[in-house]
A and B are shown apart, each in its own frame.
Chain A
Amino acid sequence: MRIAGRGPGVRPVSFSFDGRRYEGREGDTLASALLANDVALVGRSFKYHRPRGVMTAGPEEPNALVTIGRGAAATPNTRATVQEVFDGLEAFSQNRWPSLDWDLLALNDLAAPFLGAGFYYKTFMGPRGWWERVYEPLIRRAAGLGALSGRPAPERSEKAFAFCDLLVIGAGPAGLTAALVAGRSGADVILADEDFRMGGRLLAKGAEPGPEWAAGILAELESLPNVRLMPRTTVTGAYDQGTFGALERVSLHLADPNGLPRECFWRIVAKRAVLAAGALERPVAFRNNDRPGVMMASAVRAYLHRWGVVPGKRVAVFGNNDGAHVLASELVAAGVNVVGLIDSRHDVVPSGDFRVWTGTQVCNAHGRKRLEAITLRTPVGTERLAVDCLAVSGGWNPSLHLTCHLGGRPEWQRDIAAFVPTPGAVPGLRAAGACNGAFTLGACLSEGRAAAEEALGALGMTPKAVDLPEAPEAQYNITPLWSVPGKGRAWLDFQNDVTVKDVAQAAQENFRSVEHMKRYTTQGMAPDQGKNSNVNALAVLADATGQTIPGTGTTTFRPPYSPVSIAAMGAGAEGKGFAPERFTTSHRAAVGMGAPMIEAGLWYRPSYFPLRSETHWRQSCDREVQMVREAVGICDVSTLGKIDIQGPDAAALLDLVYANRFSTLKEGRVRYGLMLREDGFVMDDGTTARLGPEHFVMTTTTAAAGPVMRHLEFVHQVLRPELDVSMISVTEQWAQFAVAGPKSRELLNGLLDAPVDNDSFPFMACGDVSVMGVAARLFRISFSGEHAYEIAVPARFGEALFRELVARAEGLGGGAYGMEALNVLRIEKGHITHAEIHGRTTAGDIGMGRMIAAKDCIGRVAASRPGLTDPDREQMVGLRPVGDVKQLTAGAHLFDAGAAPLRENAQGYVTSACFSPTLGETRALAFLKRGRARHGEHIRMVDHLRGIDALCEVTDPVAFDPEGGRLRG
């Protein structure tokens, strides 16, 4: 309930939980608003479906996980202690059926004796195959937290980058002080805090310096142009070189996001960092310590001071340290009925206006859906107290997680019974305040100042003076108490339902290492990653194994510190953000002609251009092939890489990167080039044209355009920096079209301002031309095997030229052709693509061994290795079917006609196959052991995947026009 006159804001906010309407106030979290409405039961536990209530007031909350929203936008496992309320907020409890109040699977709790640590490893051993089919689905249904909707998330997230001199993580007393010192001194500061209101524990204090002091500092920080405040931003990970990941909850608190992203994932690069993440209070394990109403003392204090909420009418406090006394006094001062303070320590001087039990422990909690009473074990016996809220403090654990993200291990500090960061674990980051084990306000303030001053010194800046407020003298005294011995189950990890018994059992079954115990019991493996349970669990393990706590050690903290939605981490990397689309200049025209597009890397190219009468792609493809063979076809080949190479040493560079020679190429001529990798295998192929004495244009395959460009730069910059040559990719600057077929010259001469003939433009000629007044380049090269040209114009003329070429081709009985026909044409001619030069083929394998010229070139030496010149290697051949089965398929394997189709009998494999309308039969390209000597042999092709078994004749790879007569003339 809310104490009159206290709490955040005044504006009422209406929200619902499990369909019931409630009223909260602006500034409430869902947890504080539910507690203000006296809602104690908010969820069911992971495994046993135990009733659970709000336990903390911060991001470490293990119990109060809810689903926010409905349908595709529903977000499961939202911590009610983090979620701000807004008008119309809809929250739903999780892991219960049919309702939170009456949950059928609460039966699991009765079966608890059979469901202890590792029960599924022992129970579900057989029969074989039942784990996947029966047990796992059943267990997954029975246990768990919230569930995703399974539908695409409609809202978007973003990612962003930020840079600063100093990143301050956490805006409590230490962080505010550090940011103020650095901000006043002129450093670029980012102050990030996961809360929506900055101030940290100062907001949960009853006395100054508290909320007002924090507000004053924040006002000054806001006025400084060099300081950026990032509330609602959790720094989730520390990475190399001062890089930090951070998740900002941008609009999750707004009724109307108004276009804002849900979340933003930040990469923050900081020259220096101060970790001021504070500390998390840890519970004490005792029987039924998970009953709704048993809460952390720090949470009760925060709800009292920050939200004006007391989560019960009869409150008791149970602790092992001085903090518990402060809380009890503050509750009394606020008029709350404090039943008493139970201190496990004996040597405590009672003070304050409340009853104190010393040397006493709480050994049981009663009530199922709501705490009704507790049992105390005093030095003289047991006592039962009627309470509906128990505030527990087992001490504090510094939030040192980020200091472990680069492999650092924390150190045990005995006087505070807690792990503290190892200095220097993250280069450039210094911990200050409670996360460094400084548990008094005065120490937090002075450590914050010192950390900022050290950072400024490292940055070469002079710190400006900052006066710190007077902090009351205080000491932090604690006597460790991890668990209260006794019967029944005492909870350690609330989120994964791990008890003291489970940890003891793990130790008994010899899972004695903390890492083994963790995996066997699932301790600390829930979304909260054991924030308030890991240290207790390893203390219990230490006790069970007879080791010390530092000897037991901690498990490894890894990023993220708290859950980060994949949608935020991957923001911008879906759809086109993941794979941008590259369109050729003819794209619109091709789509307009009804061509289905096929992806070629990021490019989109037309597969075929269907006529209205055609219902199958093969009809279109066969027609297009015939068109090129008999009339003229047009194909956009702009996606091939084009590299402009200029300089006195351009030819020398080409001689080095190509296996064959280019320095002998005459101006105005084109030559086919074969490029090797340094290990001697084929890298790429293409044609290179010599436009001038010192000017070449190289083409690459579409797929290798990037790698070849990188390779040329490598050879030039790294291997031959003395060569005077420059190069640049011009792939996107030129639109280039193949004009192929016996009527290609007739078509071009209708377009060119000066006609060409075989004398001015023989096969493999190139030069500048003018097409309808536009300066263009013409290359007489052919991938189809026909009399063919490629014409290139500046990209801005591409679409117009394509449309003109297609219209004229149609007038001559031809038209546009796509990738399918292009593929058939080249298979008929035995021309290779990356299906053949797939990275494991040598020049010799594809019949080009003699192209390696007697000069230094990349890959020449390695190509001479015995393994690459072995006569038994698989060599490229053609195949045609000669048996009953006429289908040949790429990927099929080859065997001797009489051999069983087993791996050990493999003779080779098929790389490309098509139906050749020109030859009226299926044709394939394949690699076959000693293939060149086996033309005419019969061989068996088996496609084990598709179940095809065909007898083939081995042929020359060039199936059509082997003399090349059609190219010339």
Chain B
Amino acid sequence: MRIPCPICGTRDRREFTYVGAALPRPSDEEWGAGWDDYLHNRENPAGETRDLWQHEAGCGAWLVVTRNTVSHAVLGAELARGATA
């Protein structure tokens, strides 16, 4: 598997650390469904997902990677900066 890092170019997935679904952090001050969803509830779709990866053994950038869990195709990667907002 290879991921197209917007900074470094296409690199082997061993350079990246997978973290999980790319979701916006809730702004709620109190615990509630928004936080519960952010921390625990996932769609687990058969199809396209957007996950966070870090190019840890490369430039260190946090990326949002779009990929297909059925075909395993990696459809793109963008800097996470603002992409989860």
Contacts and interface: CB of A to CB of B under 8 A. Distances in A.
Interface in A828-872: 861-862, 864-865
B60 interface: yes
Nearest to A707: B17
Contact of B35 (A713, A714, A861): A861
A240 B61 CA distance: 24
A322 interface: no
A861 B1 CA distance: 37
B49 interface: no
B61 A241 contact: no
B29 interface: yes
B19 interface: yes
A164 to B, nearest CB: 14
Contact of A241 (B52, B54, B72): B72
Given A718-B62, A861-B29, A679 B39 contact: yes
A718 B2 contact: no
A721 B81 CA distance: 6
Contact of A862 (B39, B73, B80, B84): B39
13 contacts: A240-B72, A241-B1, A241-B2, A406-B72, A678-B39, A679-B39, A710-B17, A713-B54, A714-B19, A717-B62, A718-B84, A721-B81, A861-B30
Given A718-B84, A861-B31, A710 B72 contact: no
B31 A862 contact: yes
Given A241-B2, A718-B81, 19 more contacts: A240-B1, A240-B72, A241-B73, A243-B2, A269-B2, A678-B38, A710-B54, A710-B56, A713-B54, A714-B52, A714-B54, A717-B62, A717-B79, A717-B81, A718-B62, A718-B80, A718-B84, A721-B82, A861-B28
A724 to B, nearest CB: 13
Interface in B1-40: 1-2, 17, 19, 25-26, 28-31, 35, 38-39
A862 B62 CA distance: 24
Interface string B30-72: 1100010011000000000000101010001110000000011
A570 to B, nearest CB: 15
Contacts of B1: 240-241, 243
Q: Is the interface of B mostly helix, strand, loop or mixed?
A: loop
Nearest to A863: B31
Interface of A: 240-241, 243, 269, 406, 427, 678-679, 710, 713-714, 717-719, 721, 861-862, 864-865
Nearest to A269: B2
B47 to A, nearest CB: 16
Contacts of A269: 2
B28 to A, nearest CB: 7
Interface centre among A241, A269, A713, A861 (most CB of B within 10 A): A861
Given A240-B1, A721-B81, A714 B62 contact: yes
B31 A865 contact: yes
Contacts of A719: 25
A679 B40 CA distance: 9
A626 to B, nearest CB: 43
Contacts of B82: 721
A785 B5 CA distance: 47
A580 to B, nearest CB: 14
Interface centre among A241, A243, A427, A678 (most CB of B within 10 A): A241
Contacts of A241: 1-2, 72-74
Contacts of A864: 30-31
Given A241-B2, A861-B30, A713 B19 contact: no
Contacts of B61: 717
- 5 nearest interchain CB pairs? A240-B72, A721-B81, A717-B62, A718-B80, A718-B62
Nearest to A161: B12
Nearest to B83: A718
Contacts of A406: 72
Given A241-B1, A269-B2, A718-B52, A713 B39 contact: no
Given A718-B81, A862-B35, A713 B60 contact: yes
Nearest to A678: B39
Nearest to A856: B29
Contact of B62 (A679, A713, A861, A865): A713
A508 to B, nearest CB: 39
A718 B39 CA distance: 16
A717 B25 CA distance: 13
A713 B81 CA distance: 11
A240 B19 CA distance: 21
A865 B54 CA distance: 29
A269 B82 CA distance: 32
Contacts of B72: 240-241, 406
Nearest to A718: B80
B82 to A, nearest CB: 6
Nearest to B22: A718
Contacts of B31: 861-862, 864-865
Nearest to B34: A861
A713 B74 CA distance: 23
B11 to A, nearest CB: 11
A763 to B, nearest CB: 36
A269 B13 CA distance: 13
Nearest to B40: A679
Nearest to B72: A240
Contacts of A861: 26, 28-31, 35
Nearest to A240: B72
A714 B54 CA distance: 8
A714 B25 CA distance: 12
B35 to A, nearest CB: 6
A240 B79 CA distance: 23
Nearest to B64: A718
Contacts of B52: 714, 718
A241 B72 CA distance: 8
Contacts of A721: 81-82
Contacts of B39: 678-679, 862
A719 B80 CA distance: 9
A708 to B, nearest CB: 13
B9 to A, nearest CB: 12
A717 B80 CA distance: 7
A754 B54 CA distance: 45
